[in-house]
């Protein structure tokens, strides 16, 4: 009978703490500082992303306002053309009466 292979054990990811109190405090302080730096980088990245989104929003708002103004100008032009068309039709009708 072949020999059974030993079952591999999962490796522990636990970190061993230093043996004495000052080293433990230093270790914890270092970990806290690393976490604070990570949090700071994450916050700055989110802040930059927020600023980018705000700029995009401002650009969209400005473009929307420009489109609204252009639309109003076009509506005024259409109204003017319709007014001119009505006047022209009245002139044609008056000319037909004369003919």
Q: How far apart are CA 88 and CA 94, in angstroms?
A: 10
Tell me the two tokens of residue 28: 């914890």
Q: What pLDDT is stored for residue 14 in this prediction? A: 64
Q: Is residue 7 scored above 80 in pLDDT? A: no
Mean per-residue pLDDT of the chain:
89
Q: What percent of the chain has pLDDT over 90?
A: 69
- pLDDT tens for 47-58 read 999 999 999 999
Residue 24 · residue 17 · CB < 8 Å: yes
What is the 3 state secondary structure string of the chain?
Answer: CCCCCCCCCCCCCCCCCCCCHHHHHHHHHHHHHHHHHHHHHHHHHHHHHHHHHHHHHHHHHHHHHHHHHHHHHHHHHHHHHHHHHHHHHHHHHHHHHHC
For residues 85 and 4, the model is more confident at 85
- pLDDT tens for 76-96 read 999 999 999 999 999 999 888
């Amino acid at each position: 009978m072949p020999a059974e292979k030993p079952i591999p054990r999962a490796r522990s990811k636990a970190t061993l703490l230093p043996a004495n109190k000052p080293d433990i405090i230093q270790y914890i302080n270092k970990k806290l500082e690393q976490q604070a730096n990570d949090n700071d980088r994450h916050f700055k990245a989110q802040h930059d992303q927020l600023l980018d989104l705000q700029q995009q929003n401002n650009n969209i708002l400005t473009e929307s306002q420009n489109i609204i103004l252009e639309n109003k100008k076009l509506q005024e032009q259409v109204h003017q053309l319709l007014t001119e068309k009505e006047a022209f039709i009245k002139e044609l009708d008056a000319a037909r009466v004369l003919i």
